[in-house]
Amino acid sequence: MQLVQVLISGLLIGGIYALISMGLNLILGVVRIINFAHGEFLMIAMYMSFVFYSTFGLDPYVSAPLVTILLFLFGMAIQRVMIQPILDQPATVKIFATLGLSIALQNFALMMWKADFRNVQTAYQTDVIRLGEVVISIPRLVAFAVAILIALGLFWFLKRTMTGKAIRAVAMGRTAAALMGINVKRIYLLAFGIGSALVGLAGSILMPIFYVFPTVGTLFSLTAFVVVVLGGMGSMSGAFLGGLLIGLVEAFAGVLISPELKEAVYFSIFILVLLFRPSGLFSLGKGSEEVGL
C-alpha cells in the first residue's frame, strides 16, 4: 500500500510538472526560443493569485481564469516587445535576453513582496480522500484533473482547429507556412501567449499547495527543462508524459533512496537521455519535433 501511495503522489505532482512543461514546450516548438524566464512567469502568476486572495478574498481556483488571461496578455507583450526583435539574432542573444528577463522579474518580485514566503489559507487545503490506507490530497487531485483537462483541450485545439493547424504548420517550417498565407508573427504571438497562459494556470492551482517567494520559479523551471528534454523538444504529448514520469521518479526516489537525492536521480536521467537519445524518449527521432503530434 505504501508503493500505491507513492505512485498516486508521483502522478499528482507529475500532472503539475506536465502543465508547466507543455507551456515551455509550445514556445520552444513554435517560436524556436528557450524561455529561461518561464519559471518566473510561474512565480508572477502565483503572486497574482496571492494578491487576489489577500486583497479581494478570491480563492485561487476562482481567480485562476483571470490570472490565466493576464499571463496570456503578459506573454504576448513580452513576445512582441522583447522576443520578436531578436528572433533572427544568434542563439546567445536569445539566451541572454531571457536570462536577463528572469533576473529582472525575480528582483521585481523581491522589491514588491520582499523575500518572505507567502501562501493562502483555504478551507480545503488539508482535505483528503481516504481509500483504505491510501490518502489523496484534494488540492493535488484538483491540480492533476486540471492538467489532464487542459492537456486534452490543447491537443484537440492543435489538431482540430484551423488556428491549431496553423501553429503546427509554423512549427514545422515558418517559410513554407508563410508561403501558404499564414501570418507567422501573429502565430508567434499566439503561441507565446498560450504557453504563458498555461504556466499562469499552473501557478494558480499551485497556490493552495506551495508557498510563493521570488525564486520559486527556479525550482519548477529546472524540472520543466528536464521534462522537455525527456519527453522530446517540441512534442506536446512527450511533455505531458515526461511530466508524469518525472513526478513518479521524484516520488519513488524520495521514498526508496532519499528525499535529499530525488533531484539528483532525475537529473542523472536527464544526462543519460542527452547522451543516448537527445531527441527525447517520446519523440519520433532526430528532427521530428512537431507540435501536437
Tens digit of pLDDT for each residue in 232-252? 777 788 888 889 999 999 999
Residue 37 lies in a domain: yes
pLDDT of residue 283: 64
pLDDT of residue 284: 53
Mean pLDDT score across all residues of the chain: 89
Give this prediction's pTM: 0.92
pLDDT of residue 287: 47
Q: DSSP letter string over 132-195?
A: TTEEEEHHHHHHHHHHHHHHHHHHHHHHHSHHHHHHHHHHH-HHHHHHTT--HHHHHHHHHHHH
Per mean pLDDT, which range of 106-115, 121-130, 196-205 is the poorest? 121-130
Per the model's pLDDT, the better-predicted residue between 232 and 41 turns out to be 41
Location of C-alpha cell 514520469: 245
100: which residues sit within 8 A by CB, 6+ positions away? none
Residue 98 lies in a domain: yes
Residue 113 lies in a domain: yes
Q: Taking each helix axis as running N to C, give the angle between helix 184-206 and helix 60-78, from 0 to 180 degrees, rounded to the nearest 10.
A: 150
- pLDDT one-digit tens code per residue, 247-286: 999 999 988 888 888 888 888 988 888 888 877 777 655 5
The segment with the largest mean pLDDT, out of 10-24, 182-196, 227-241, is 182-196
Residue 146 lies in a domain: yes
- Residue 41 near residue 286, CB atoms below 8 Å: no
pLDDT of residue 150: 92
What CA–CA distance (Å, rounded) separates 9 from 22? 20
pLDDT at 290 over 50: no
- Residue 58 near residue 52, CB atoms below 8 Å: yes
pLDDT at 199 over 50: yes
- Mean pLDDT across 169-174: 88
Residue 100 lies in a domain: yes
pLDDT of residue 67: 97
Structural domain for 152, as ranges: 2-276
Tell me, what amino acid is at 36?
F
5 sits in which H/E element: helix 2-31
Tell me the pairing of strands 134-137 and 128-131.
antiparallel
pLDDT of residue 230: 86
pLDDT of residue 285: 53
Residue 194 lies in a domain: yes
pLDDT of residue 293: 40
43: which residues sit within 8 A by CB, 6+ positions away? 105, 106, 109, 203, 212, 214, 215, 216, 217
C-alpha cell recorded at residue 184: 507567422
> What is the distance, to the nearest Å, from the Cα of residue 32 to the centroid of all Cα atoms in its chain?
16
Per mean pLDDT, which range of 121-125, 216-220, 278-282 is the poorest? 278-282
Residue 282 lies in a domain: no
Model confidence at 292, pLDDT cuts 50, 70, 90, reads very low
- Residue 272: C-alpha distances to residues 4, 34, 126, 236, 281 (Å): 27, 21, 38, 21, 11
Give the chain's domain count.
1
Per mean pLDDT, which range of 82-86, 263-267, 289-293 is the poorest? 289-293
Domain CATH code at residue 6? 1.10.3470
Whose CA is closest to 270, among 249, 291, 284?
249
Residue 55 lies in a domain: yes
pLDDT of residue 233: 75
